[in-house]
A and B are shown apart, each in its own frame.
Chain A
Amino acid sequence: MNIRLDNLTVNFDDRFQLDEINWQLDDSQHWVITGANGAGKSALAAILAGAGESVAGSITGLPAKVGLVSFEAQAELIERERKKDDADIMDVIAEGTPVHEILHEGSRNPALIQQLVSMFKLEPLLERAFRKLSTGESRKVMLIRALASEPELLVLDEPFDGLDAHTLEMLQQYLHGLVETVPMVLVLNRFDEFPDFITHIAYVDQARLQHQIDCNDQQAYNDLYQLLHLKTTDLQVPAADPDTAIPKLDPTQPLVQLNKINITYDGQRIIDSLDWTIQPNQHWQLSGPNGSGKTGLLSLITGDHPQCYVNDIFVFGFQRGNGESIWQIKQFIGYVSTALQWEYKVGTGLRNVIISGFYDSIGLYTKATDRQKKIADEWLALLGMTDRADTPFNKLSYGDQRLLLIARAMVKHPPLLILDEPCLGLDDMNRQLVLALIEKICAGSETSVLYVNHHAEDKINGIDNYLTLEKRESNNH
């Protein structure tokens, strides 16, 4: 394999354009593509899998079989499954394609699929509809699909995000085993995740391939690290909006009290008889492997999970199921998660996305006040997006969307801020920014933070309560 990009300019649906790329990759190399959010990392990787429309220059030597894993590819598959859902025209609830079919789509090697399924411990999910998987679980399916296709080139865009520690280690080992046979290109945001077999780094900035660094060149490597690093000392969190004040809560009552909670899917119990109390001003970290029920547990609190009506749940002064509406609950919560990001498919401008946090809506259906607009603008300035206030949200890169949704969750200074793996898809610089923001909020007195994360190194100062969920074996009632 010898891929050659000469002065290549590639257009992506008129949304984005990568300019004048000069790049050569051969069999003996393993690359990392890195850079800031929105710089064009994913786009550069996707070119290798044939995406985009070449408008100038040339690209030669692309192998026929490229295994690609990315959020975009995952989202596309989810969208495909969603389109297949005939629920609206058939008036029946459709389940969608089961995992085993999804896995066999691109591979002629059932033995390899079986081996990978077993490594990723996916056996219990083979019959489940792909659409019904958790974020981490569907990521694993994408990885197995790519690996099982026996590719000549493996392109993995943020492959480690959203994986629990065990799976992460297993995957890294597996990739090590491929070093001699399959050239790899990884898009990674985090320096500490670069595997040691990486030979070269491509640094992307402003839609151009700015630097190419040989990993043996220590000086160049250090310079790049500095370039990506942001000092986040003097950080001001924009104020809340006094006109949309959240009702005062009784400070002697817990924010959340869950008593003997159960969550069951298809007769399988995911959460079994769990007690959990969150007091005002307590900060919590929630962890556990993929599929251990973290997201389900959180959605019981937010009211998004229908089984919140069959559990003993007390939130913000309401015993659930007594005539309260979900909007009365949601007003106390700021929330960000990967699932929310998938749901948040709107073409409205960035300022409005932040303002929608005041109303807990996806999109904005209420006229914003001048003060709300001003607060939103302060957030945009903090994120360095002032010049894009009216850019449609769905034209942003994945990481920039994530940043916006974090601001949306924080904008009303909620009594409870739920951050479900907030740093997924963020580059080093923005990760530092978000972590610093969370620490600021923890240090204040108005918000309790509930933080979900796999990465042990993303420790947050101020969080001192921990809940760890274990994955339950199937059919364990």
Chain B
Amino acid sequence: MSNNYFNTLPLREQLEQLGKCRFMSIEEFSDGVEALKGKKMVVIGCGAQGLAQGMNLRDSGCDVSYALREAAIAEKRQSWKNATENGFVVGTYEELIPTADVVLNLTPDKQHTPVVNAVMPLMKEGACLSYSHGFNIVEEGMKIREDLTVIMVAPKCPGSEVRNEYVRGFGVPTLIAVHEDNDPKGEGLALAKAYAAGTGGHKAGVLMSSFIAEVKSDLMGEQTILCGMLQTGSLLCFDKMVEEGIDPGYASKLIQYGWETVTEALKYGGVTNMLDRLSNPAKIKAFDLSEELKQIMRPLYNKHQDDIIDGTFSRTMMEDWANDDKNLLGWRAETAETAFEKTPAGDVEISEQEYFDNGILMVAMVKAGVELAFETMTAAGIIADSAYYESLHETPLIANTIARKKLYEMNATISDTAEYGCYLYNHACLPLLADFMKDIKTDVIGKGLELDDTGVDNARLIEVNAALRAHPVEAIGSVLRGHMADMKKIV
């Protein structure tokens, strides 16, 4: 069994690594792709992310080719087609890896161990191995040959967007890191910066982080607020509405598209703006519900973070991997059978505002989940910038997958680690919220408050508004959104 790398470090270093995260200024990228000039880059994996990054790097003047397994080439699989139709040189590991100065591992997490084991012996002395996720290094404890430089470059968007934004002359926010145990020549940062510039990421903002901070925050975000909370919330809200006699088609639509609509407000103006979209009485109601939710769920968030930090989570998950994903696949099938999943969205018109007005509980759940995830992460030593990106920033991206294809597809399409985490969360959270849900009525999910008089107590409203705005996720959020807006819309 593998050795958890994080657990081998002394506490002092664990804390230092968890706390790494800095928003880089665009001036730090003035050398562009210079550090990669004359170097041969070989990409492993030609899915959407692999193809998009390769095309961007090539268009920035880098020398890019694709190494695929012999079978993929012989059978002309999709990955082979993707690469050859776009005019790339394609070869086997044996042909290309020994010539590579930089090897870009863009395969799914689960394949990292076999892929890296196959690739490492073929790599030339002093070359660089790049990851887009640190799980293999941090959780599986993969040891990389001492002469090799190990870096991470992780665009925080799906592959299609990585390509589209580049073509427009822009890029997507990107996280970079250097694995300090593997930086023999001290060139890791220069290579990571050049790689980020080659994909256009420097124009949209780059976060300098560490392998450990990336993994521990990414895992926490994806299994709690991002996937876990939305999944659990969807099931609870749907069943409640149907139980209360609301038309199932309406309920299904309110949830499927509601997450996307309310988190769009979150994306633009944080939790504050999301709640500001509600009427005053509804805002106070949502605030109270979310306080209650936070109190109930806090131990669960703590447990998730603790299990992630000490490696319990990854160990359990890898045991399931070794057991042919029995737990995971079983649960995936169960999700497909839930009433929400099986009820198609009704042919009813729901206006943008109505998603807020009739989805007060959903707003409360998003607020509770975002704040709890953020609070738990920062309490564990993860810096606020990281915690913001892995909670609030990514919630709308996941909400968008639910709007497209509901939960089953969300789970089938997110990473294996995210899905396994979501499975754990959902199992624990459904019973945890059972009592809370008993008191829930259609005024907060399905119908709205339907008040004749929307008056509120001044003092209470001031209190709620102040509490919303004072939360630390709002402070860091307005700074980071400010950076992004500066870059994206100078116009």
Interfacial residues, chain A to chain B (CB-CB below 8 A) = 83, 85-93, 265, 303-304, 306-310, 323-328, 343, 348-349, 352, 356, 359-367
Contact call B87/A309, Cβ cutoff below 8 A: yes
Residues of chain B within 8 A of A348, CB atoms compared? 489, 491
Q: What are 16 sample pairs from A and B whose C-beta atoms fall under 8 A apart? A: A88-B157, A89-B158, A89-B413, A91-B48, A93-B78, A306-B87, A307-B87, A309-B88, A310-B87, A323-B37, A323-B62, A325-B59, A326-B59, A352-B491, A362-B168, A365-B170
Contact call B61/A323, Cβ cutoff below 8 A: yes
- Minimal beta-carbon separation of A323 from chain B (angstroms): 5
Contact call A88/B160, Cβ cutoff below 8 A: yes
The residue in B47, B409, B491 that gathers the most chain A C-beta atoms within 10 A of its C-beta is B491
Contact call B51/A359, Cβ cutoff below 8 A: no
What string of 1s and 0s marks CB contacts (under 8 Å) between B163-175 and chain A?
A: 0000111100000
- Minimal beta-carbon separation of A80 from chain B (angstroms): 13
Task: Say yes or no: is B86 at the interface (Cβ < 8 Å to chain A).
Answer: yes
Residues of chain B within 8 A of A308, CB atoms compared? 87
Residues of chain A within 8 A of B87, CB atoms compared? 306-310
Q: Which of B86-143 contact A (CB under 8 A)?
A: 86-88, 108
| Complex Cα spacing A343 to B61, Å | 23
- Minimal beta-carbon separation of A431 from chain B (angstroms): 29
| Complex Cα spacing A118 to B82, Å | 32
Task: Say yes or no: is B304 at the interface (Cβ < 8 Å to chain A).
Answer: no
Task: Say yes or no: is B344 at the interface (Cβ < 8 Å to chain A).
Answer: no
Given known pairs A92-B48, A307-B87, the reply for A325 and B61 (CB within 8 Å) is yes
Give how many B residues have a beta carbon under 8 Å from the other chain's beta carbons.
Answer: 42
Residues of chain A within 8 A of B367, CB atoms compared? none
Residues of chain A within 8 A of B405, CB atoms compared? 89
- Minimal beta-carbon separation of A148 from chain B (angstroms): 26
| Complex Cα spacing A90 to B48, Å | 8
Residues of chain A within 8 A of B108, CB atoms compared? 91
Of all A-B residue pairs in the complex, the 4 with the closest CB atoms, nearest first, are A361-B169, A88-B158, A306-B86, A362-B168
Residues of chain A within 8 A of B170, CB atoms compared? 361, 363, 365
| Complex Cα spacing A147 to B85, Å | 35
- Minimal beta-carbon separation of B129 from chain A (angstroms): 21
| Complex Cα spacing A367 to B490, Å | 6
Residues of chain B within 8 A of A90, CB atoms compared? 48, 413
Residue from B48, B168, B414 in contact with A363 in the complex, judged by beta carbons closer than 8 Å: B168
Contact call B48/A87, Cβ cutoff below 8 A: yes
Query: Which A-chain residue is minimally distant from B49 (CB atoms)?
Result: A91
| A-B contact sample (4 more), CB < 8 A, given A92-B47, A93-B82, A307-B86 | A89-B158, A93-B51, A323-B62, A366-B490
Q: Which of B20-75 contact A (CB under 8 A)?
A: 33, 37-38, 47-49, 51, 55, 58-63
Contact call B490/A88, Cβ cutoff below 8 A: no
- Minimal beta-carbon separation of B78 from chain A (angstroms): 7
Q: Which of B375-413 contact A (CB under 8 A)?
A: 401, 404-405, 409, 413
Given known pairs A92-B78, A310-B87, A363-B169, the reply for A324 and B491 (CB within 8 Å) is no
Contact call A85/B490, Cβ cutoff below 8 A: no
| Complex Cα spacing A92 to B489, Å | 31
| Complex Cα spacing A303 to B169, Å | 13
Residue from A83, A87, A89, A325 in contact with B401 in the complex, judged by beta carbons closer than 8 Å: A89
Query: Which B-chain residue is minimally distant from A364 (CB atoms)?
Result: B491
Residues of chain B within 8 A of A310, CB atoms compared? 87
Contact call A306/B159, Cβ cutoff below 8 A: no
Residue from A93, A307, A359 in contact with B169 in the complex, judged by beta carbons closer than 8 Å: A359
| Complex Cα spacing A360 to B168, Å | 8
Residues of chain B within 8 A of A349, CB atoms compared? 491
Residues of chain A within 8 A of B58, CB atoms compared? 309
Residue from B85, B160, B488 in contact with A87 in the complex, judged by beta carbons closer than 8 Å: B160
| Complex Cα spacing A310 to B65, Å | 12
Residues of chain B within 8 A of A364, CB atoms compared? 490-491
Residues of chain A within 8 A of B61, CB atoms compared? 323-325, 328
| Complex Cα spacing A85 to B163, Å | 14
Residues of chain B within 8 A of A86, CB atoms compared? 404, 413
- Minimal beta-carbon separation of A265 from chain B (angstroms): 8
Task: Say yes or no: is B487 at the interface (Cβ < 8 Å to chain A).
Answer: yes
Query: Which A-chain residue is minimally distant from B158 (CB atoms)?
Result: A88
- Minimal beta-carbon separation of A85 from chain B (angstroms): 7
Residues of chain A within 8 A of B294, CB atoms compared? none
- Minimal beta-carbon separation of B75 from chain A (angstroms): 16
Query: Which B-chain residue is minimally distant from A84 (CB atoms)?
Result: B404
Query: Which B-chain residue is minimally distant from A360 (CB atoms)?
Result: B169
- Minimal beta-carbon separation of A354 from chain B (angstroms): 12
Task: Say yes or no: is B203 at the interface (Cβ < 8 Å to chain A).
Answer: yes
| Complex Cα spacing A303 to B490, Å | 27
Task: Say yes or no: is B276 at the interface (Cβ < 8 Å to chain A).
Answer: no
Task: Say yes or no: is B354 at the interface (Cβ < 8 Å to chain A).
Answer: no
Residues of chain B within 8 A of A325, CB atoms compared? 33, 59-61
- Minimal beta-carbon separation of B450 from chain A (angstroms): 27
- Minimal beta-carbon separation of A266 from chain B (angstroms): 8
Residues of chain A within 8 A of B51, CB atoms compared? 93
Residues of chain A within 8 A of B404, CB atoms compared? 83, 86, 89
Residue from A83, A87, A360, A365 in contact with B159 in the complex, judged by beta carbons closer than 8 Å: A87
Contact call B59/A303, Cβ cutoff below 8 A: yes
Contact call A363/B491, Cβ cutoff below 8 A: yes
Given known pairs A88-B48, A93-B48, the reply for A361 and B168 (CB within 8 Å) is yes
Contact call B490/A306, Cβ cutoff below 8 A: no
Task: Say yes or no: is B306 at the interface (Cβ < 8 Å to chain A).
Answer: no
